[in-house]
Amino acid sequence: MTASSSVGPVLKIDGLVVRYPEPEGSGVGAAAGPAVLDGLDLTLEPGDRLALVGPSGCGKSTVARAVLQLLPAGSSCSGGLLLAGQDPRLLKRQALRRLRGEAVGLVFQDPMTRLNPLLRVGEHLTDTLAAHRPRWARQRVRQRALDLLERVGIAGERFNSYPHEFSGGMRQRLSIALAMALEPPLVIADEPTTSLDVAVAAQVMAELTDLCRESGSALLLISHDLAMAGHWCEQIAVLDQGRLVEQAPSQRLLTEPAAPLTRRLVAAARLREGSGSPETSTKPLLLELDGLRCWHPLPSPPWQRRWLKAVDGVSLRLHEGETVGVVGASGCGKSTLCRAVAGLVPVRGGAVRLHGKNLRALRGRELRRARRQIQMVFQDPLACLNPAMAVGEAVADPLLIHGLAGRSEARALARQGLEAVGLSPAESFENRLPRQLSGGQQQRVAIARALVLKPKVLLCDESVSMLDAEVQAEVLALLRDLQERLGLGMIFITHDLSVASGFCQRVLVLENGQIVEEGVGERLLEHPQAAITKQLVAACPRLPQLA
């Protein structure tokens, strides 16, 4: 079955209701909980490009799981559901597997969830094609796999590489090739560019939409990024608490939103793109980097030493209450710079001065005391929170590690920290595990944990990139409020120049470990000078201007 062979809508959802089992229940007999999708209506015709947006927990990803019938055991799914003219709920396992492969292609947020680390890149494609095209000769299967790789920008020489040898962008290109291998009538892309920088994200989305156009496939893009949704899709549908609250052509929805939720989401996205305030250097200097170098040795013979110059002579100054943004393409050295300042990676040269003291010259207890003044908020809060530790314990833990408080005092300070980041009352959150919180709440816990040691410098490494626009705006407003109250200096790492422009007083553009441009974010957006800055601006989707 291909896109061209489907008749009628490729996807028709009519009054769909999905309920997940209650947490204490398990298996087929588990009690169903509240409706995650509550009477959803949605139709896609061949060639349509529709973006499904909405706040965290609104049911966006559940739509994809329901279409593919990948719901947890014990879930209930009622109402109308037709995929390429068939109801997947009525099919036996073998027929359902065939329908999943041939009627719909899925592009995940994290491509490694689909890729087998033990299979070579080419084998992912040949195995899929051989399973669904058993009459094809081996040479035809291999040639089709090579053609698909070439089509998504992967050279045929990488056919025998493994997924771990690819960058994030290349792995996502491979996921697109897998999704399009059988030319399905429908492609579902669930947050496909969240972890990619804007330049790579633009390339990936261009390839995905081009392939859909060539095959006549409909595209259902699930995203929290309104600007990206409007750029790549003709229609946008807004989901809230499992119901469709608005659907309209992208331009109209983004300039004349009708539903209250849509107005809030568009306002949050425009706030994110707002202009940062000019730099003020009258406040005390907190942090100074002078010619910082982080070089990593590459495999090479002893007589011909080669280095990966991840950070190569970076200098910057950060004042109390100031936010400096650092942007650049994947692999430019942004995260390495952050980790070098935090002392998480070796530094080969240059100086890191905090309050005038060079941290590289400090040792032992004095270095530990200084390091407490620099804390970090990571991109994925679940990666830095112990999944088996209640969030109250997670926030209190740094105080115990550094011997700054006893258990009862640390617990009280942790409650204060949770209250300070908006998790109130703290008693209702402190005993929950991280997985029992939303993405925005998890990031608030991570911020509380970073601030419990009362640092002077906060390093934010892509700390809002995985959040939807409304939660993103809330977290950015929280960071701004905490900065003003505590006098924090912040280094804000992001791949999104529009976010940096709206949040930071100054923005530095990094390429190959070096600063190539610096200035107020709005000026960089309007008048970029360096080639990489122009590339980032061109790749950065922005909301249409209001009339």
pLDDT in tens, 279-321: 545 688 999 999 999 998 877 787 788 888 889 999 999 999 9
For the four alpha carbons of 222, 226, 227 and 229, in that order, the dihedral sign comes to: positive
CA–CA dist 255, 418 (Å, integer): 37
Nearest to 187 by CA among 48, 339, 348: 48
φ, ψ at 481 (rounded to 5°): -65, -45
Rounded Cα distance between 138 and 540, Å, is: 42
User: Comparing 321 with 6, which gets the higher pLDDT?
Assistant: 321
Has residue 345 got a pLDDT over 70?
A: yes
Q: Is the pLDDT of residue 142 over 60?
A: yes
What pLDDT score does 13 carry? 96
pLDDT of 274 reads 57
pLDDT at 332: 87
Q: Which helix (H) or strand (E) holds 480?
A: helix 469-486
CA dihedral sign of residues 429, 430, 433, 434 = positive
Strand partners, 81: 13
φ, ψ dihedrals at 219, nearest 5°: -120, 125
Q: Please, what is the end-to-end C-alpha distance for the chain in angstroms? A: 45
Cis peptide before 299 (omega within 30 of 0): no
- Going along the chain from its start, the domains and CATH numbers come out as 3-272 (3.40.50.300), 285-538 (3.40.50.300)
Q: Please list the alpha-helical segments (H only) found in 216-259.
A: 226-232, 250-255
What are 469-509's pLDDT values in tens digits? 777 788 888 888 888 888 899 999 988 888 888 889 899 99
Residue 4, φ and ψ in degrees, nearest 5: -70, -20
If you write DSSP's letter for every residue of 38-61 in order, what string do you get?
EEEEEEE-TT-EEEEE-STTSSHH
Strand (E) or helix (H) holding 317: strand 306-319
The DSSP string of 364-404 is: HHHHHHHHTTEEEE-S-HHHHS-TTS-HHHHHHHHHHHTT-
Strand ranges across the sheet with 186-190: 104-107, 186-190, 218-222, 49-53, 235-240, 243-249
Rounded to the nearest 10 degrees, the angle between the axes of helix 168-180 and helix 121-132 is 10
Does residue 24 carry a pLDDT above 60?
no
Which helix (DSSP H) or strand (DSSP E) does residue 270 occupy?
A: helix 260-272
> For residue 245, what are its two tokens?
């609250």
Query: What is the structure's pLDDT at 1?
Result: 42
Assigned token pair, 191 = 């947050």
Percent of the chain surpassing pLDDT 90: 53
Distance CA 366, CA 422 (A): 33
Alpha carbons 23 and 435: distance in angstroms, whole number: 12
- Beta carbons of 254 and 266 less than 8 angstroms apart: yes
Token pair, residue 181, equals 């291998």
Strands (E), 439-531: 457-461, 489-493, 506-511, 514-519
List the 306-319 sheet strands across, edge first: 306-319, 285-298, 349-354, 357-358
Amino acid type, 393 = E
Contact assessment for residue 440 and residue 471, using Cβ atoms and an 8 Å cutoff: yes
Region of 492 (left: φ > 0; alpha: ψ -120 to 50; beta: rest) is beta
- Answer for the pair 158, 131: CB distance below 8 angstroms, yes or no: no
pLDDT for 2:
44
Query: Are the C-beta atoms of 108 and 175 separated by less than 8 Å?
Result: yes
Q: Which helix (H) or strand (E) holds 340?
A: helix 334-342
**What span, in angstroms and rounded, lies between the C-alpha atoms of 147 and 12?**
32
**528 Rama class: left (phi>0) / alpha (psi -120 to 50) / beta:** beta
Cα→Cα distances 161→29, 130, 174, 257, 400, Å: 44, 20, 12, 47, 45
Quote the DSSP letter at residue 112. G
Residue 199 CA to residue 540 CA, distance in Å, equals 7
SS3 letters across 418-452 = HHHCCCCCHHHCCCCCHHHCCHHHHHHHHHHHHHC
Residue 140 has pLDDT above 70, yes or no: yes
What is the SS3 assignment for 75? coil
Structure tokens at 290: 């002078």
Global confidence as pTM? 0.67
- What DSSP state is assigned to residue 191? S
Top pLDDT among 278 and 250 is at 250
Six token digits for residue 411: 């617990």
Predicted confidence band of residue 42 (pLDDT cuts 50, 70, 90): very high
What's the confidence (pLDDT) of residue 169? 79
Under a CB-based contact definition with an 8 Å cutoff, are residues 236 and 42 in contact?
A: no
pLDDT of residue 4: 42
Report the distance separating Cα 460 and Cα 319, nearest Å.
16
Rounded-to-integer distance, Cα 482 and Cα 503, Å: 14
The H-or-E segment that residue 297 falls in is strand 285-298
Mean pLDDT of the chain: 87
Q: Which of 242-251, 293-302, 359-368, 400-409 has the lowest mean pLDDT?
A: 293-302
